[in-house]
Every structure is written in C-alpha cells, then in structure tokens.
Chain A
Amino acid sequence: DARVTQTPRHKVTEMGQEVTMRCQPILGHNTVFWYRQTMMQGLELLAYFRNRAPLDDSGMPKDRFSAEMPDATLATLKIQPSEPRDSAVYFCASGLAFTGPNTEAFFGQGTRLTVV
C-alpha cells in the first residue's frame, strides 16, 4: 500500500535548536508539497517541488526555513533556529499530476513539532 512517509511523527525541541523533518513521497510521484497546519492559520502551503526543483517557496519564512529534495525519494524541511511560533503540524504531500483525472495529493501522517 503506497503512502507518503514522514519522520519523525513527533518532535519536541528547545528554542534555537535546528529541526529537520523528512518526507518520503510515493514512488513515482513527481510533485511534493510541504504544508503547515496551526489552529490560527489553518493549512498553509510552505513550498512545493516538481521533479525535485522548487517551484514556489513563497509561503516559507526564508530566514529560518529551508526545503530541499536531495533525491527523488527524500524531501526535507529544516528550521534553524527554531522558535516557539513554529510549533505546528507539518504535512508533506505528493502527487503525480494536479490537472486531469489522475489529480490528487496524497498526504503523510504529519510531524507534530513543539518548540519550547
């Protein structure tokens, strides 16, 4: 059963520490999204990649966040330094196409980040 895998599922860290979240998209999917979910802001798109190239990261605070796809099987989202306001659930999603009949984004289980 193909699925998007995110690690870790939970992370508690102290303010100022670096946090790295990982995502393994479904094999063969060429598009990867990073979303952040909070009570106040809902689901925000942070960045997305097509064929490993970043297409849009305008939703991401550039001074502390970075997103990469070192290869087709791994996407990473880093926060350095982390701040309490970064506490949220971070979702990765992948898909093959977003127009036409095969359009769908498959979501991972999320990483719940708490920065104290």
Chain B
Amino acid sequence: AQSVSQHNHHVILSEAASLELGCNYSYGGTVNLFWYVQYPGQHLQLLLKYFSGDPLVKGIKGFEAEFIKSKFSFNLRKPSVQWSDTAEYFCACAGGYQKVTFGTGTKLQVIP
C-alpha cells in the first residue's frame, strides 16, 4: 500500500528565511508526486508535480521540489519565504490504480 510521510508538522520561520519541508513516500512502483498548498480557509491548490524527467521540479510562487528516487523523497524548497506563504502544505503521491494519497500536512507560519 502506498503512503506518504511528512516529518514536520509545524514550522515557524521569519521572512526571508529558507524553507525545506520533508516528504517521503512508500510505493514500490512508478509514482507521480505532488505538493499542494492550502491557504487558511481555502481548498487545496497544486504547487508543483513530478511525473518523469528532470528530478528538480519548479512550481508556482518560487517553490521547487527535488525527487530523489533512492531516498523515496520529494522535499519542497523555497530560498526565501514571505509572510504570504503562511499555509498548510501537503505532499501526495499517485501510484497503484492512480490513487492519490496525501501526507498529514505541514503547517508553515511565516513571521514578518
């Protein structure tokens, strides 16, 4: 069965700090990987996705993620966060039967 683990439940950063959120997945076959963002009171929106090719994926709002197959990881990064990045971030994978499974989420709070 596929699963997704996000190690950080709550992260607090000052503006301009660099961000890295960890994500590990468990699935033996080919996977597609996603990062979604949920701003307070809103629905989930896609930040970026990986399906093949270059393991470094660039998304919207300056976010990027790196797929490291040997580590089953897909960590999200941003070199300099802004107050507007305060949100909850979800890692997800689609593997067997294309079922999309989400991690438990990481709440990011950016302090001005």
Chains A and B belong together in one complex: yes
Across-interface contacts of B100 in A (CB, < 8 A): 33, 45, 48, 93, 95, 98, 105
Q: Is the CB of A43 within 8 A of B46?
A: no
Across-interface contacts of B102 in A (CB, < 8 A): 35, 42-43, 45
| Minimum C-beta distance from B21 to chain A (A) | 14
Across-interface contacts of A101 in B (CB, < 8 A): 51
Q: Is the CB of A99 within 8 A of B99?
A: no
Interface residues of B in 23-61 (CB under 8 A from A): 30, 32, 34, 36, 42-46, 49, 51
Q: How many chain-A residues does the 8 Å CB contact rule pick out?
A: 26
A sample of 24 cross-chain residue pairs with beta-carbon separation below 8 angstroms, ordered by A number, consists of: A33-B100, A42-B102, A42-B103, A42-B104, A43-B44, A43-B90, A43-B104, A43-B105, A45-B100, A45-B101, A48-B99, A55-B97, A55-B99, A91-B43, A97-B98, A100-B51, A103-B32, A103-B51, A103-B94, A104-B46, A104-B49, A105-B34, A107-B36, A108-B43
